[in-house]
Chain A
Amino acid sequence: MPWYVHLALKQLFPAGRRFPFFTAISVLGVALGVALLIVVTSVMGGFGYEIRRMIVETEGEVQIKARGLIGDSASLLREVARVPGVQAATPYASGVVMVMANGRPAYPAMRGLDLATVAGVVELSTYIRLGTLDDLDDDSVLVSSELARSLGVTIGDTLEVYSPLIIERLRSDEVFLPREVRVVGLVEIGHQQLDSSMVYGTLRLVQDLYGLGSAVHGINVRARPGVGEDQLARRLNASGLPVGMQAFSWMDSFEEFLWVLNLEKGMIFFLLLFIVIVAAFSVMSSLLISVVRKTREIGLLGALGASPRGVAACYCAQGLLIGVFGTGVGLALGFAALAVRNDAVMLIARLTQREDELRRFYQFSNLPAHTVPGDVLTVVILTLVISFLAGLVPAWRAARLRPVEAFRSE
């Protein structure tokens, strides 16, 4: 080990019983900054990750949409199935409806599922909390849990479904009665907005409600494992889809939303990085004090044959070592905080009696977190670079100190 690293370690963690107070404070400052960065980037990443999971699991990675309706969905499904990377595809129809139950109205989105093919694309059955997908037929629906609660319905109850077609028919003096459907299941995805505003029926039911005939609004496509959504969308578009149709990956469909999410994450990361920078100034200040306090020792090192570069390296190493230990402790603190985040948030919510508000405003039933290795690597590298830079000014001061001047200061 080079002498300057050995001495830097000894100065930061002196042998004997002395508590390295300066080192502990400096390491803690860096650690808190790192922990906060890890927690915030993971939680921000968690929001994006959860949204992706929900979209992909309920709609597939890729959607094929037309300018209007897709008339011959069966032949399109056959063509799509032949494209490499496609695991499964299912047609869908969707639109906003009004539902009434117990005299209470609601305006959810309704999605029509093709029961023959939907299981290969949409993992809806994993989100059914009560009832089963097998009970779904053309006269029944699955209702999202929060919506069922607000309407006061449960399995076996009846809903009246009004579609925009009713208004259209009224214009030509036709009376189109609302459709009565049974509730055969409750769905809970974990996202407040989806759980309070979705109704799932058969494709035939939605086609009837919207007067689509055999047409559909689009095709949801599931990619084979290892095939990226953008890659699959490109392949589908290159495969010669009928004129007016285009495949969109879920990221294309939510591009603006994802951009805003990433911008938020980037801005928060940038702002929180200042905590590490402030900690680095504190490290710099402590090391500068150390240079003044250890003037004679620095002089001694020069007298014993240490080059100014070696003396500088000793202080740079101290800054870097504080960064290394601070990063290590910060990562441990950050991951520990992430592990208990839901308990902590729920405890605060319970103490402040704001559990419902938390659920309503934050959309998710749990505080999501998703740690991206690239984010962790960025935090680690930036922290180490900043810590190293914090040692440069003290290092420069120490390197400029001539032994003879140091001894004269006695």
Chain B
Amino acid sequence: MSERSNAVLQARGLSKSYASGDRRLAVLRGVDLLLHAGESVSIRGESGAGKSTLLHLLAGLDSPDEGELFWNGARIDARRCTAVRNRFLGLIFQSFHLVPELTAEDNVLLPRRIGGRVDAAARRRAVGLLARVGLDERAAHLPSQLSGGERQRVAVARALMNQPSLLLADEPTGNLDERTGESVITLLLELVAETQTALILVTHNPAHAARTSRQMTLSEGILHHG
């Protein structure tokens, strides 16, 4: 009980299957995961192993067939966690998912806007985060005016805007060249260490995975620790 209450995230026995013709295809089979503040975990696995499905369940974007999910000790129902997710979770995607009509600064501010009012303090934080990811000169630029690496750094800043307890990064270097990907991972790990934010990093890259405090592998729907 005390372990769960100290945990940023706890998943217990998460299972998920999808209909495939007449059969049901089990993607996740009883996944357990416990994560504390400042801890970083990498999850590797082959394509189709269920990494994205697991991330969607952990992010409360989808409901498991079985199992329970807790954020900061509170049980989460995927159908009713939208507002909580805004404050608890930061998401980083392989394809950046920046809103093309918004400037870098407005993209960073978007989670705060959705969560409530944008005040001067929020603007200062957004500018500060952009400076921290090395893009203070590019705050007024649109995503189309930024390189892939710069876009992902904007996405990292956006994920941290609401000071979340947990960051979920789904193959954040998948669309970047090796050098840029390396710099993004370095930045991401530095930031989560600075802010004591928990991180789940889904990656194919063993070198990137090795830089997290715990490494896990997802295979045939089962999460293997260590």
**Are B111 and A7 neighbours in the complex by a CB distance under 8 Å?**
no
- CB interface residues, A 284-308, toward B, < 8 Å: 296-297, 300-307
B61 at the interface (CB under 8 A from A): yes
Stretch at the interface among A187-195, A243-251, A399-407: A399-407
| CA of A310 to CA of B111, assembled, Å | 13
B151 at the interface (CB under 8 A from A): no
- CB interface residues, B 110-152, toward A, < 8 Å: 110-111, 113-115, 142, 144-145
**Are B114 and A297 neighbours in the complex by a CB distance under 8 Å?**
no
- Closest Cβ of chain A to B172, distance in Å, is 14
Q: Report whether over half of chain A's contact residues are helix, strand or loop; otherwise say mixed.
A: helix
**Are A296 and B95 neighbours in the complex by a CB distance under 8 Å?**
yes
Q: Answer whether A305 and B59 are a contact pair too, CB < 8 Å, given A11-B101, A410-B95.
A: no
Interface residues of B (CB under 8 A from A): 52, 56, 59, 61-62, 82-87, 91, 93, 95, 97, 99-103, 106, 110-111, 113-115, 142, 144-145
A-B contact count (CB 8 A): 69
**Are A402 and B114 neighbours in the complex by a CB distance under 8 Å?**
no
A14 at the interface (CB under 8 A from B): yes
**Are B85 and A305 neighbours in the complex by a CB distance under 8 Å?**
yes
User: Nearest CB to that of A410 among chain B residues?
Assistant: B95
28 examples of A-B residue contacts, CB within 8 angstroms:
A3-B113, A7-B99, A7-B101, A10-B99, A10-B106, A14-B100, A15-B103, A16-B144, A16-B145, A296-B95, A297-B97, A297-B100, A302-B82, A303-B59, A303-B61, A304-B110, A305-B83, A305-B84, A305-B85, A305-B87, A305-B111, A305-B114, A305-B115, A306-B86, A307-B83, A402-B61, A404-B62, A407-B61
**Are B114 and A310 neighbours in the complex by a CB distance under 8 Å?**
yes
Q: Report whether over half of chain B's contact residues are helix, strand or loop; otherwise say mixed.
A: helix
- Closest Cβ of chain A to B220, distance in Å, is 21
Note all chain B residues with C-beta closer than 8 A to A310: 114
Interface size on A, residues (CB 8 A): 24
| CA of A14 to CA of B61, assembled, Å | 29
* Candidate in B59, B87, B99 with the most chain A CB atoms within 10 angstroms: B99
| CA of A404 to CA of B18, assembled, Å | 13
**Are B85 and A303 neighbours in the complex by a CB distance under 8 Å?**
yes
**Are A6 and B113 neighbours in the complex by a CB distance under 8 Å?**
yes
| CA of A15 to CA of B52, assembled, Å | 33
**Are A404 and B97 neighbours in the complex by a CB distance under 8 Å?**
no
**Are A15 and B114 neighbours in the complex by a CB distance under 8 Å?**
no
Note all chain A residues with C-beta closer than 8 A to B101: 7, 10-11, 14-15
